[in-house]
Each structure stands twice: as structure tokens, then as C-alpha cells.
Amino acid sequence: MKHSRKEVTIVVDGKKMVCPEGESLLKVAQANGVFIPALCYFDHVDPPLGTCRVCTVKVKGKYTAGCQVKAQEGLEVEVMSPELLDHRKAVVEMLFTEGNHICPLCEKSGKCVLQALGYEMGMDTPRFTFTFPGREIDYKPKHIIMEHHRCIQCKRCVEEVFTDDGKPVFYFQQRGKETVVAVDYEQEARLTYEQAHRAMEICPVGTILLKEDTIDTPGYRKYDKMPISAVSPAVEATLAAPRTESAPEVKKKTVATVSLAGCFGCHMSMLDMDLNLLDLIQLVTFNRSPFTDIKQFTTRCDIGLIEGGCCSDENVEVLRKFRENCEILVSVGACAINGNLPALRNWMPLEQTMEEAYLQSATSDETAVIPHHEDLPKILDKVYPCHEVVKIDYFIPGCPPGADHIYKVVQNLLFGTKFNVPYEEFKYD
Amino acid sequence: MQKERMYLLDHLWDCQNARGYLSDEDVVQVSSAFGLSPVDVEGVISFYHFFQRKPAGKYTIYLNNSILSRFHGFEEVKAAFERETGALTGSTDQTGTFGLFETSCIGLSDREPAALINFQPFTNLTPEKVHYIIQELKSGTAPAALADAIEEQVQYKPEGDKAILFREFEPGIVLNRLRDFSPDQVIAQIKESGLSGRGGAFFPTGLKWELCRKAKGRKKYIVCNADEGEPGTFKDRALLNLMPQLLLEGMIVAGYAVGAQEGIIYLRAEYTWLLPKLNEELKIYRKKGFLRHRIPELNNYKFDIRVQLGAGAYICGEETSLLESLEGKRGEPRLKTFFPTEKGFLGKPTVVNNVETLCAAARILELGVERFEKLGTPSSTGTKLLSIAGDCKRPGLYEIEWGMRVGELLEMCGAENPGFIQMSGPSGELISAEEKDRVISCDDIRCGGSVMIFHAGRDLFTILYNFSAFFTHESCGLCTPCRAGNPQLLHLLEKVIRGQATAGDVSKMQQWSAIVKHNSRCGLGQTAPNTLEQAIHKFPQLFQDRLVQEDRFNQEFDLEKALRNYNQLTHEA
């Protein structure tokens, strides 16, 4: 195809950009330092896939996928309005809640585009209900594993992965929320190592994994230090905004903490505050908390920090007590926010989990029973994020969240001081 | 020789009709016949809900679960079917004789509850009638012999001789008229008449034809959208049932005007019972030399029409999904990079018109532009077919002049104490009985044909839940907001219905509705939250009455329920 290289001027959020006519908006914007996030977009696929809808922009007041917009003289596009930013974030959040995205477990963590967009957009508060769908992992293909829990149905692999003789390898099956990417095993076996490796690379999440070497460069985490939009000066500017330091003098506040269905890792992280801890105890007293070993509330508290989700009736009872006794409740860490590792049982029946744990384990014999006694906590049908049980006021993502991150949030809650969490401290794992 | 992919759906139907379902061998056989991967074929099969991969009974029953069915005895009828057949909904009985399934609206809203048994229509069902039907089937009577005849009830047409569609039709008359005009003259007449898309999109028909005529390419297609899937509508059914010849002539007119060689009627599988009638007419038209033969009087113009049966997917009413489906693929909507008039079926210039549009075009040639454009309003000329059903004395078909007031309509059909009126189906507009002065035209209520009337005693939330579940079920799954957003809206509605929602949840519904509407890829997602949005806006008190006070505990969490599994497990142990 012959390109007419006619130059045109388009206007993105009031900013003029000169580019060749017919160029994709996403490319033009990127080249001019405006990052329009997208998950399904490939610059060479035409027409674009247009499935993820993260790149939605407004042209002449009409909403449209940014990947579909081609540069034309006089084109005016709205990209970064508060409304569009919120919608974009909502679509990313929808993807997180319709699948099972447990970042600490995922091979792609640190390189995952979905996760990177979560960081980019500051996804810290769960808006939609986690659905914990029952999905499977397909080990049958020759080169790859299909980790369907993490699939976001972007269709990249369906449209992009072919054998040497041009046969597709991946297909969509089913419809609606049941839509699943199925593998043609015969063709998949014919992929070369490089082709299979590329399939893993183009998967924006951790669904397509190579059996042989999933982690090609251990420790390499592409999006850890720099946001996916790193080229955008606008975003860098916000990131570089100065942090507010010391806090004004006020009366001591009372803090309570607890670990529900978690691993105490978040509490360890709190202890990692090191010297800040000394500052902190000048400002607060701890009431009910493992730090003090106070087991019952002895006074009403200003802040309750909750680690872990609810896996038993005891967790629920404790969480409700916290709600009754604390002005502000904070979910600290991934387990409190989305169930995280303990929620790995959420997409199988409780019966299967209990049998696996107590009846069929390596050390169980024929006398084994599922433990139950009036003094033992009862296990819930699934692990519930804390905000599904009580109202949670704030959320601190991470597994665990960094000590500094927790410190800053607490400081902010106590004194209302503004703060910024530096990009590299904002993590889901 | 390898078969062309566009015949894949036909071939799958043949296999399923022979066996009652698609077996593993069928999939292998079909794949090799078409040179496709079995995984690809499975992808197509699983997209359409009438394709069954497991035995679905010698008699396969699809009971309509649309809102009108629900309000007119669905639960009792479903229970009767389960009792009489021994099959639980979603499965077959132990002997494999009966398969019982639910399905979305089957285009029989004026006689609900209705069901299809081996794709034959059974209407006005009651537990007694179900008992009789199943007894008869068990004793060997064929479903076709038992099925109800669908007599169309034309309740109203403009007085005098003003009706455009519902009037006698003399087959061949339009083709006779066509001789007097060149293709350009036909297009000029259609443009002059002001005819616009009757499926509800209101795109000017003449312009569409002109675009297609001017599009480059020798091979062009006319596609008739007879995938009348919007719950509550059945006006296309009536046209196909009463005067299929008018449609065929409309398609020939369109084909002649744009220079197309082939026409395809995409008929929804729910109307399989109309297929023999259509095929019979096609035979007659071919015999008469109107189809498949050069027509000397029309400059040796040659055209042919075939029918493509759908397989159960609401999304295929969206024109680009319909084109994908015609090509033997999953009915996923295309990006709107091109109009179908540029790149449509198989990438060739294609006109996609609704049944009613094509019929009206034929009538314009027959009756003349003047008679057509005199009717209606200046911006919406001609007449419009409405299918009215629900809580009214005279359900059925209404041919109205554009510009009629809602109040007149309600009076005409004998609406009984109307509370809510759903115009244009779940994706359309919910109006209250107070909005009597609203006008049906392209400037106000842009009605596609579905009118559902609910009396004031009907529960709004049952309606909203039914619609939301419908969209969740029918979303194709291609884009995030529609696939993942509709289930989230459904969940909030459930919360309202269970009396656990707070005012915050209602404002979430409003925000999320906007997110789904503004970010979805096609019309399905872009309109799915319409009714919910309007309900919140127009009936705030009804929501208010269902809400609980915002407090610091989540009312939805039910500890007892969450412990039920564990208690059962340990109790048994």
C-alpha cells in the first residue's frame, strides 16, 4: 500500500500535533508524549482489534476507541478529561474483577501490562465485585500452559499467532462472560520455540506461559521502576511532585491492627518502618493489636488496620468488632482487598478444598476427618474481601505494601497531610 | 472439494437436524469438509445457543423467558413442562425423549407464554395445554401437526386506503413497475420518499443504496435482516408470514438499484417455521423467471435470493455481526471502520436492510412516492409497523403513521391501567403512563417496532432484572465493558431486589451504566443500560422504597449462608 505522506495537524487535549495523514491516534499521541493506554492494541494490525476499550477517547463529543481513530486534518480529540480517565480506570478494574488476578503468584508480575495499567491509573480502591470465576489451567499444549484465570479476552493471540504455513493456533469459544481462548493442540505443537515464545510475549497478562522457560530473565520486572507511560512528561511531573514531610503536633491517636486470613506479612511490613516506628509511637498508641498483645478493645480507636480477608466466622466476627470500634478502617494489603492467596480456593467447592487439606494429604490416614469443634472457627464457603463484609474506608494495595507506604497512609489519616506514594512503592505484589 | 465457509451454519444445522445434536464425529466431519480446525468449528458452535453439543432430546423444547412470558405464566408453564417431560430445565429427561431449555424472546410476544418444540411454535401455553402437548408427543404425534397456526392480528392501519404495508398485495406488481425505471431513478425515488431504516437506526435508505451503487466492485449483495431479536417485536414475522412476496420484490428492487447479483435473507432460527413458506415463494419466483434468470424487461438484470438461517444469538441483529455470521463465523460485531456499503459480506459492497424497510421500498415503487411521503411527519415519512403486546386488550400489529402520540396508541390497543411502557424493546426507552404526549417519530421516540405495555401493578424490578439478565446472556463477549460490566449491573440489581442495596448502590448503577454505554464496542453494550438509567431517573421513589440505610456493615454479606457448606460438610462427617 502506498502512503500519501501528507502532513496534517491534529489537536489532542488542546495540544497541536503534526503527523502523517491516516496515522493511528495512539501512535501520534505516544510520539508527542501523551500516553493513551491500551491492552489489545498492536500498531501493525489494521483494522485494530478494538476489544479491550481501555483507550476510549472522545471525538466531537462522541466516545470511540482511540485505536480506531486515524489522523485527519483538524481532528480534535479529548483524551485526558477526568471523565475519560475514570472510565478508563473502570474498564481496567473490570478486567481485574472478572478474572482471577492474584499478582503475587503470577509469573508475569512486574511485566504484566494489566498490572502496569493498574499502577499507572492508581487503581487502589476496589469498585466492582470480585467474581472469582471457576476457570481452568490447560497443561495439554506442547509448548505452553494456558492460565485461563488471568485471560482478559483481548484476542491478541487469536489474531497474531500462526504456524509457518499460516494456520491459526488460538480461537475464541463460547460467548459473553464465558468466552474462552481455546488452543488447537495440533497446530500449537507445530509452533517453533521462537513462535511459542512470541505468543507468551504478546500476551499482555500471564495467560500464555512457556513450559520450558517462563521466566527468561529472572528478576527482570519491566514496569517496577518506570510506569508504562514513562515517556509521558505529564505523568512524570505528577510522579516527581514533592512529598509532604513532617506532621504538625496533635493529640495522640489510637490505632488497632489485626491479621485475619493473611500471613502476617503486612504486619512485618509495618515493623519494617524501622526508625519511623519511633516517630509513630510519639504520635499514636496501639490498642488491640498483635504488637501490644491486647486481645480485646479497651477503648474506641481512631484507625483500624486490617490485614487479610475473611476465611472463617471468627474473621468475620473480629472484623465486625473492628468496624464497631474504629472510626476509620483500612484494608492493608492484597488479602484484605481481594482475598489474594487464600482466595485461591474460591473457584472450587469448599468440599474439594477440605478433602484436599485434611483427607487426602500425604500424612492423612483412614481416621482423618475434617476438623470441627465448637471451639474451632468455621470455614466460610469462600474467602471474602473485607469490604464485602463491612464498610472499608481506605485501601493500601501490595503484598505486602511497603513500610513507607503504610507509614505515609497512616500519617495522612492522622493529620490530613497530603502525600504521594512514589511509583516504585505502588505494587500489587 | 472443500466447502465454502459461508455455508458452515447450514451444514451444522443439517448435522444437528439429523441427530438432534452435534456429536464429536460431526465436529470432525464438518471441520474436514470445510478445511477448518475443529477448535475453530467449536468456536462457532458454542457462540450460537441453538447448537447443542450434547443430546438435546428427540423433542427439543425452547421456552421463551422474556418478560412478557414471565408476566403471563412462565413459571407455571415451565413447571408443567418439567413435570410432564421429566426433564429439568437445561437438560433432557432420562430417556432422552425431551430436552427442555430456556431461550430469549422468540417473536411470539402477542401470545405468551410461547415455546418452540423442534422449532415449531406453541403459543398461549397453560399447564393444561402443556399436559396435552406432551401426551400427544409421547403418543407419537409430530410437533408440526400439533403446533399452533400463527394467524396475524392486524389491529390497526391508517383509515381509508392509506395503509402502505398492510394492504392487499398482488405478486409481480412491483416488478412490473420496476420496468419503467433505471436503477438511478429507483434510488432517486427512494431518496425522495424519505424512507429510513425501519430496524430502528433511521439511516436514509436511498442514501444507503446510492452509496452501495457507487461503491467499487462488480460483486454486490443485498442482505435482508430478518433477525428480529429485540424482545417484544414481531412485526417482521408478520410481514414474512403474510406477504413474503412483498419482501422478495423489495429485495429485487434493491438489487436492481445497486447492481447486486445476490440477495440473502438472514432469518433468525426462531422463525424456522417460516422457512418452508419462504422457500416455496422463492421457487415460485424462480419459476416465473423473476429470480435466477435474466429479466429482459430489466436490461437482462439477473438476481437470486437465498435464505440463511441463524442459530440463536441476539447480537446477530447488529448488521456487522450479522455479516460475520453470514460468512460462517462467530457473530462478533466489526469495528465501524467501513460501512457495509463499502465492505460488507465477504468484503464486498453490501446493503443490509430490515424486512420492513425492503417491503416499504417495494410499496413506494408500487404506490408512488407521493402517497408515501404524504403520510407521517415531515421528518419521518410513511408508516411504521408496531408490535404491541403485554397488558392490553388488543395485542397485535399496528401500522401507524409516524407522528402518532403515545396516548392515542395506548387508547387504541386498550392498554389496561398502564404503568410502564417499554418502547423499542429492552435496549430502547422506558416511558411512564404520564408521557402520553410523546410522539413516535425520528424526532422523539425512535421506535424500532417493539411496544410492551405493563400495567401499574407490575413490578418494575422484575422487568429491569429480566432485561439485564438478557443482555448479560446475549453479550458476545468481545469487549470488556459489555462482557464484564453488564454482569456487575445485574449484581447490583439483585442487591436492590433482595432489599440490601443502599443509595450509594443506586448511584453506582448510574455511573456504571454510563461506563458500559460509552465504552462498549457496538450497539448492544451501548444501549444495554438504557432502561435501567431511565428507570432510576423516572421512578426514583420505587428505588427509594427498596433501599436500606447506608451503614458501616455490608448488608449483602450473609454469615449463615457463607457457613452453610462447612456446616453440611462437618455435620455429615
Say whether both A393 and A270 belong to one domain. yes
CATH number at residue A43: 3.10.20.740
Q: Which of A232-246, A325-339, B93-107, B159-173 has the lowest mean pLDDT?
A: A232-246
Interchain pair A184, B40: CB under 8 A: yes
Say whether both B351 and B393 belong to one domain. no
String of DSSP letters for B2-23: PPPGGGHHHHHHHHHHHHSS--
**A288 touches B: beta carbon within 8 Å:** no
> For A129, which residue in chain B has the nearest alpha carbon?
B488
Residues of B in contact with A389 (CB under 8 A): 553-554, 557
Query: Which among A87, A153, A179 has the least Cβ separation from residue B515?
Result: A87
CATH number at residue A167: 3.30.70.20
Say whether both B199 and B342 belong to one domain. yes
Q: What percent of chain A has pLDDT over 90?
A: 75
CATH number at residue B512: 1.20.1440.230
Residues of B in contact with A128 (CB under 8 A): 484, 488, 512
Cross-strand partners of B121: B116
Say whether both B252 and B363 belong to one domain. yes
CATH number at residue B104: 3.40.30.10
- The model carries a pTM of 0.93
Distance to chain A for B194, nearest Cα, Å:
26
Query: Which among A128, A182, A313 has the least Cβ separation from residue B39?
Result: A182
Interchain pair B335, A65: CB under 8 A: yes
Say whether both A125 and A151 belong to one domain. yes
Q: Check: CB of residue A22 under 8 Å from CB of residue A73.
A: no
SS3 A71: coil
In chain A, residues 74-113 whose CB comes closer than 8 Å to chain B:
87, 90-91, 94-95, 97-98
Say whether both A147 and A23 belong to one domain. no
Distance to chain A for B406, nearest Cα, Å:
30
Q: Check: CB of residue B133 under 8 Å from CB of residue B328.
A: no
Under 8 Å CB pairs connecting chains A and B tally to 177
Residues of A in contact with B514 (CB under 8 A): 87
Cross-strand partners of A254: A285
Residue found by looking up cell 488452543 in the block: A183
Give the DSSP letter of residue B161: T
What is the H or E stretch that residue B432 is in?
A: strand B429-432
Span B234-247, average pLDDT: 98
Q: What does the block give as the cell for B2? A: 472443500
Interchain pair A50, B521: CB under 8 A: yes
User: Of B373, B401, B426, which one is at a domain's C-terminal end?
Assistant: B373
**B487 touches A: beta carbon within 8 Å:** yes
Say whether both B172 and B280 belong to one domain. yes
**A37 touches B: beta carbon within 8 Å:** no
Residue B121 has pLDDT above 90, yes or no: yes
> For B550, which residue in chain A has the nearest alpha carbon?
A391
* B461-504 pLDDT tens trace: 999 999 999 999 999 999 999 999 999 999 999 999 999 999 99
- With vertex at residue B32, the alpha carbon angle to CA B29 and CA B33, rounded to the nearest 5 degrees, is 80
Span B174-202, average pLDDT: 96
| Residue among B42, B491, B515 with most chain A CBs within 10 A, to mutate | B515
Say whether both B263 and B405 belong to one domain. no
In chain B, residues 519-548 whose CB comes closer than 8 Å to chain A:
519-521
Say whether both A294 and A210 belong to one domain. no
User: Which parts of B264-389 fold into alpha helices (H)?
Assistant: 275-287, 319-326, 355-367, 369-373
Residue B534 has pLDDT above 70, yes or no: yes
The number of folded domains in chain B is: 5
pLDDT for res A250? 55
pLDDT for res A230? 75
pLDDT band of residue A220 (cuts 50, 70, 90) is: confident
Nearest residue to B420 via CA among B452, B377, B397: B452
Render the burial of A195-218: b for 16+ CB within 10 Å, e for the rest: bbbbbbeebbbbbbbbeeeeeeee
pLDDT band of residue A416 (cuts 50, 70, 90) is: confident
**A176 touches B: beta carbon within 8 Å:** yes
pLDDT band of residue A236 (cuts 50, 70, 90) is: very low
Averaged pLDDT of chain A: 90
Query: Which among B40, B483, B557 has the least Cβ separation from residue A179?
Result: B483
Give the DSSP letter of residue B298: G
Length of chain B: 573
**A390 touches B: beta carbon within 8 Å:** yes
Residues of A in contact with B553 (CB under 8 A): 320, 323, 389-391
Say whether both A394 and A348 belong to one domain. yes
Interchain pair A388, B557: CB under 8 A: yes
> Would A87 be classed as within a structural domain?
no
Residue A233 has pLDDT above 50, yes or no: no
Span A63-72, average pLDDT: 94
**A336 touches B: beta carbon within 8 Å:** no
Residue A366 has pLDDT above 90, yes or no: no
Distance to chain B for A356, nearest Cα, Å:
13
Residue A151 has pLDDT above 60, yes or no: yes
- With vertex at residue A139, the alpha carbon angle to CA A138 and CA A141, rounded to the nearest 5 degrees, is 95
- With vertex at residue B200, the alpha carbon angle to CA B199 and CA B202, rounded to the nearest 5 degrees, is 105
pLDDT for res B365? 97
> Would B51 be classed as within a structural domain?
no
Say whether both A386 and A356 belong to one domain. yes
Say whether both B249 and B336 belong to one domain. yes
Span B536-565, average pLDDT: 94
Residues of A in contact with B332 (CB under 8 A): 172
Residues of B in contact with A54 (CB under 8 A): 480
Say whether both A17 and A133 belong to one domain. no
The number of folded domains in chain A is: 3
Residue A242 has pLDDT above 70, yes or no: no
User: Of B429, B455, B481, which one is at a domain's C-terminal end?
Assistant: B455
* A48-59 pLDDT tens trace: 999 999 999 999
Residues of B in contact with A177 (CB under 8 A): 472, 475, 477, 483-484, 487
pLDDT for res A45? 83
Where in the sequence is the domain holding A69, given as residue range(s)?
7-80
pLDDT for res B78? 98
Q: Check: CB of residue B225 under 8 Å from CB of residue B319.
A: yes
User: Of B455, B478, B513, which one is at a domain's C-terminal end?
Assistant: B455
Span B292-311, average pLDDT: 96
* B4-48 pLDDT tens trace: 999 999 999 999 999 999 999 999 999 999 999 999 999 999 999
Say whether both B323 and B345 belong to one domain. yes
> Would A27 be classed as within a structural domain?
yes
What is the H or E stretch that residue B413 is in?
A: helix B406-413
**B478 touches A: beta carbon within 8 Å:** yes
- With vertex at residue B466, the alpha carbon angle to CA B428 and CA B82, rounded to the nearest 5 degrees, is 140
Say whether both A105 and A68 belong to one domain. no
Q: What does the block give as the cell for A31? A: 510520539
> For A151, which residue in chain B has the nearest alpha carbon?
B480
Residues of A in contact with B487 (CB under 8 A): 98, 131, 177
> Would B552 be classed as within a structural domain?
no
Span A255-272, average pLDDT: 95
In chain A, residues 351-380 whose CB comes closer than 8 Å to chain B:
351, 354, 369-370, 372, 378-380
Interchain pair A50, B559: CB under 8 A: no
Say whether both B21 and B81 belong to one domain. no
> Would B75 be classed as within a structural domain?
yes
Residues of A in contact with B512 (CB under 8 A): 90, 128
**A168 touches B: beta carbon within 8 Å:** yes
Say whether both A268 and A375 belong to one domain. yes
Span A256-282, average pLDDT: 91
> Would B261 be classed as within a structural domain?
yes
Interchain pair B484, A94: CB under 8 A: yes
pLDDT band of residue A409 (cuts 50, 70, 90) is: confident
> For A325, which residue in chain B has the nearest alpha carbon?
B552
Helix axes B275-287, B244-258, angle to 10 degrees: 60
Residues of A in contact with B473 (CB under 8 A): 176
> Would A329 be classed as within a structural domain?
yes
Distance to chain B for A398, nearest Cα, Å:
24
| B184 residue type, one letter | D
Residues of B in contact with A349 (CB under 8 A): 565
Say whether both B166 and B261 belong to one domain. yes
Say whether both B284 and B401 belong to one domain. no
> Would A86 be classed as within a structural domain?
no
CATH number at residue A302: 3.40.50.700
> Would B419 be classed as within a structural domain?
yes
pLDDT for res A248? 46
pLDDT for res B198? 96
Interchain pair A167, B37: CB under 8 A: yes
The tally of CA atoms less than 13 A away on the side-chain side of residue B47 is 31
Say whether both A34 and A119 belong to one domain. no
> Would A118 be classed as within a structural domain?
yes
Query: Which among B332, B475, B573 has the least Cβ separation from residue A369?
Result: B573
**B563 touches A: beta carbon within 8 Å:** yes
pLDDT for res A240? 40
Residue found by looking up cell 392487499 in the block: B168
> Would A92 be classed as within a structural domain?
no
More confident residue, A124 or B529: B529
**A384 touches B: beta carbon within 8 Å:** yes
Say whether both A231 and A275 belong to one domain. no
> Would B35 be classed as within a structural domain?
yes
pLDDT band of residue A3 (cuts 50, 70, 90) is: low
Say whether both B411 and B439 belong to one domain. yes
- What pairing do the DSSP bridges indicate for beta strands A144-147 and A137-138? antiparallel
Residue A241 has pLDDT above 70, yes or no: no
What was the ipTM of the complex prediction? Answer: 0.94
> Would A91 be classed as within a structural domain?
no
User: Of A48, A80, A112, which one is at a domain's C-terminal end?
Assistant: A80
Span A376-397, average pLDDT: 96
d(CA B336, CA B373): 31
SS3 A198: helix
pLDDT band of residue A282 (cuts 50, 70, 90) is: confident
Say whether both B473 and B332 belong to one domain. no
> Would B272 be classed as within a structural domain?
yes
pLDDT for res A4? 58
Averaged pLDDT of chain B: 96
> Would B451 be classed as within a structural domain?
yes
SS3 A291: coil
> For A383, which residue in chain B has the nearest alpha carbon?
B562
User: Which residues, including other chains, have CB under 8 Å from residue B307's CB and lie 6 or more apart?
Assistant: B264, B265, B267, B275, B278, B279, B282
Span A6-18, average pLDDT: 95
Say whether both A264 and A385 belong to one domain. yes
Q: What percent of chain B has pLDDT over 70?
A: 100
CATH number at residue B365: 3.40.50.11540
> Would A297 be classed as within a structural domain?
yes
Where in the sequence is the domain holding B79, given as residue range(s)?
59-146
